[in-house]
Amino acid sequence: MLLLVRAAFDQPSCEVHTKTSDTDLVTETDQAVEKLLINGLSKRFPGHRFIGEESAAAGQKIEYTDEPTWIIDPIDGTTNFVHRIPLVAICVGLAIKKQLRAGIVYNPLTKELFSAQIGKGAYKNGFPIHVSSTTGSYLSALLFTILILSLIRINEEADSFQNLDIKFSNRLFVAASALNRCLIAASHGIHNLPIFGETWMNISLENFRRQCFAGIRGSKVLKEFFSGLYVFQYYRNISSRHRYFGSAAINMMNVAQGSVDAYVEYGAHAWDFAAAVVILREAGGIIIDPTGAEFNLMSRRILCASTPELAEAVSLTLSHVEYEHEA
């Protein structure tokens, strides 16, 4: 199977089809890998169920029950695969009684194997991995000092400190300081355009803008801190804190190993997340719904972060869209 993927990747071209839209691609390799995985696991575990990306695309109903269920994405990052960008992953997750219990994310091109079982830690090629410790907590005091100094300066100039309308928020301080230090993986989610149209792009761009302006890393601006108060108006390197790797699983593995601090996605599917969820949690990561609620595998949206403080900080910057649950 691994030789199949690597051989197909090395070909100058491969046969590509579309599923739900022109940006939703599938290759013969996707289909072949899923078939091999399901056939192999069925022989070993004849009573188990399966949820597979290509099976669902072919019309098979998604049934998420209490029965042991393997959730498979044969090639996460198909667009990368088609364009010969080696950021792809074979993802296999196991759920029992709707609880994710084990996961494997394997990039056959870079030979990176991420794995985890509940209660046994997360590993990359046999070595333990852990999320970063980005919280931004020590910067909260700095931001508080900046605000107070700014207010004192305004008071000295206007001589009307008593008339200032100050709306203090500890959550805002924590959010700004956490986002100031973190590296976020997020996409504009072009796959959502067929569902929500231009509304989605407006939401996506606004979310991106809020995250960019939430911190003061380097010479960035901390904009509209309270009631329209501008602390800085010097803009530079505004997008240095966002990366996207073209694969939900690869994004989540980068959070799990501490390379990236947070990841948010709207419009992906259960097979994009299932295997990676177990690994990221075992690596010490936080996984919630982007609204701040409990994560639901079938909700088609996810927010991952290295710490609870950072998860809340990212959530506070987001506007949300609702999807029909997959099962």
Active site (catalytic) residues: 53, 73, 75-76, 78, 272
76 a known binding residue?
yes
| d(C-alpha 252, C-alpha 208), whole Å | 19
CB-based contact 94:276 (threshold 8 Å) = no
312 a known binding residue?
no
CB-based contact 184:207 (threshold 8 Å) = no
272 a known binding residue?
yes
Structure-token match 């939900």, residue found:
248
**Position 203, amino acid:** I
238 a known binding residue?
no
Close Cβ partners of 267 (under 8 Å, ≥ 6 residues apart): 189, 191, 192, 195, 300, 301, 323
54 a known binding residue?
no
Helix axis angle, 170-181 relative to 308-316, nearest 10°?
A: 100
**Position 324, amino acid:** E
Neighbouring C-alpha atoms within 13 Å toward the C-beta of 263 = 33
The annotation places the binding site at: 53, 73, 75-76, 272
Sequence ranges of the binding site for Mg(2+): 53, 73, 75-76, 272
